[in-house]
Structure 1
Amino acid sequence: MIRILLAEDQGMVRQGLKMMIETDEEMRVTGEASNGKEAVSLCESHHFDIVVLDIRMPVMDGLEAARIIHSRWPSRKILMLTTFNDDQYALEALKSGARGYMLKDAEPQELIRAIRSCLSGGITLQDHVAAKVMPKLIKHTKNEEIDPSITPRELDIIRRIGEGRSNKEISDELGLSVGTVKNHISLILDKLALRDRTQLAIYAIRHNIV
């Protein structure tokens, strides 16, 4: 079972999102919060596989909650769900440790796919959000050079992470085991002094690898 913490300040919206998510038999919303502070508190006392956060909430917003959760429990995936199709919010969400940014008007299957993508290590941005965010990420970075210590195989992996592929998808495409892909990613992160694959995806975009 995939255990999900859902943080949304409007009760009716939260219940609607819960119903959407739980149309997938493997997913259960096992924790609910009405603000970021409650979400952080629940993370202290319960285990969740993924945290779905609204951005604008009282007491503590989703961005601050994401930063705290990602810092304290880096293995827990974070998906931002919001009404705001705003490139700056999306950029801040990625910087805060989120692996996805979805709008609340997404279809149920889009939301479920986004959750699964985050859990498998992918990065999910809705197309019209990505169209705004990507130019911001690559602006003024066309002349940045790729670290010379990166091998061709590692470059293949970085490219696929930048394209949003999961570890399983990368392993299938390159003919490697999932464990080998994970080892490569750990080595790449160490070489580039990056925190996680979200930062690695941004690195790929900024260095024109994708």
Structure 2
Amino acid sequence: MTKRIILVEDQLIVRNGLKMIIEQDETLQIVAEASNGKEALQLLDKVQVDLVVMDIRMPEMNGIEATKHIRNRFPTMKILILTTFDDEEYAYQTLKDGASGFLVKSSEPQKLIASIHSVLVGGMVIQEDVAAKLMPKLLHHTAPSTPIEQLPALTNRELDIMKLVGEGNTNKEIAETLFLSIGTVKNHITHILNELELRDRTQLAIYAVRNGIV
């Protein structure tokens, strides 16, 4: 079944490029376009869609304001935020207000399409560059669910790395903190993901916060 999308972006050339990328997937269709959040709200009253793909910085009504209004009027609407700014504060605000994902426009086309599909089935997508920094803020009210001694067998070094991931550190920062090479850090993270049956760094950051590692 084709999924219907409204694309909200103020720069026409960027909007056309995004439309071409998204519609490479035959299951996705751009059924409406808007140049700001105000226009998007007007269109949502007229057109039935499954997802809003929206820029952050736009005239009249930006993506942050639009996210609030859309979620107030259409509580179940899924929203994927796109921006050229990998700023966790933008991400935090839109996710707090009900967006389902945050992705920078420089991402690979395949990642954009995969992110759209993930959001459509109820997933949350967060740009990897800012994901770990956001998790403690988004989940700081979540109580630890698993004592460290009951976690799958991880070395003390791996627990240290998991803690640093959960605190929002990059591989380079972790390597410098623990006096390791970046390659060694990457290998440890790969092993941790396999041991915990997690998909990626974002899930690892969430796991670290929820289980009291951070």
TM range (shorter): 0.5 to 0.7
TM-score normalised over the length of structure 2 = 0.66
Aligned pairs for 1:57-72 within 5 A: 57-72=58-73
Q: Is the contact between residue 3 and residue 28 of structure 1 (CA under 8 Å) also seen in structure 2?
A: yes
Shift in Å, 1:82: 0.5
Q: Is the contact between residue 10 and residue 34 of structure 1 (CA under 8 Å) also seen in structure 2?
A: yes
Q: Please, which moves more after superposition, 129-138 or 7-16? A: 129-138
Measured against aligned partners, the alpha-carbon deviations of 1:33-56 in whole angstroms (never above 9, x if no partner) come to 000000011001111100011011
- Secondary structure of the residue aligned to 2:6 is strand
Residue 52 of structure 2: aligned partner: 51
CA 101–59 in structure 1, closer or farther in 2 if over 3 Å, else same = same
Aligned pairs for 1:112-127 within 5 A: 112-127=113-128
Q: Is the contact between residue 7 and residue 39 of structure 1 (CA under 8 Å) also seen in structure 2?
A: yes
Measured against aligned partners, the alpha-carbon deviations of 1:64-110 in whole angstroms (never above 9, x if no partner) come to 11111111112221000000100111100101110000000111110
Shift in Å, 1:4: 0.5
Q: Is the contact between residue 138 and residue 205 of structure 1 (CA under 8 Å) also seen in structure 2?
A: no
Residue 81 of structure 2: aligned partner: 80
Residue 159 of structure 1: aligned partner: none
Q: Please, which moves more after superposition, 22-31 or 126-135? A: 126-135
> Percent identity, aligned pairs only?
50
- Secondary structure of the residue aligned to 2:45 is helix
Q: Is the contact between residue 5 and residue 49 of structure 2 (CA under 8 Å) also seen in structure 1?
A: yes
Measured against aligned partners, the alpha-carbon deviations of 1:1-27 in whole angstroms (never above 9, x if no partner) come to 111000000000000000010110111
Shift in Å, 1:113: 0.7
- Secondary structure of the residue aligned to 2:53 is strand
Q: Is the contact between residue 137 and residue 206 of structure 1 (CA under 8 Å) also seen in structure 2?
A: no
Q: Is the contact between residue 136 and residue 209 of structure 2 (CA under 8 Å) also seen in structure 1?
A: no
Shift in Å, 1:126: 1.9
Shift in Å, 1:137: 3.2
Residue 29 of structure 2: aligned partner: 28
Aligned pairs for 1:100-119 within 5 A: 100-119=101-120
Larger Rg: 2
Output the CA distance in 1 between the equivalents of 2:115 and 2:34.
20
Shift in Å, 1:131: 2.5
Shift in Å, 1:132: 2.4
Aligned pairs for 1:134-145 within 5 A: 134-138=135-139, 144=143
Output the CA distance in 1 between the equivalents of 2:122 and 2:212.
19
Output the CA distance in 2 between the equivalents of 1:19 and 1:205.
38
Q: Is the contact between residue 56 and residue 63 of structure 2 (CA under 8 Å) also seen in structure 1?
A: yes
CA 145–125 in structure 1, closer or farther in 2 if over 3 Å, else same = closer
Provide the aligned length of Structure 1 versus Structure 2.
Answer: 154
Moved over 4 A (4+): 203-207
- Secondary structure of the residue aligned to 1:60 is coil
Residue 191 of structure 2: aligned partner: none
- Secondary structure of the residue aligned to 1:98 is coil
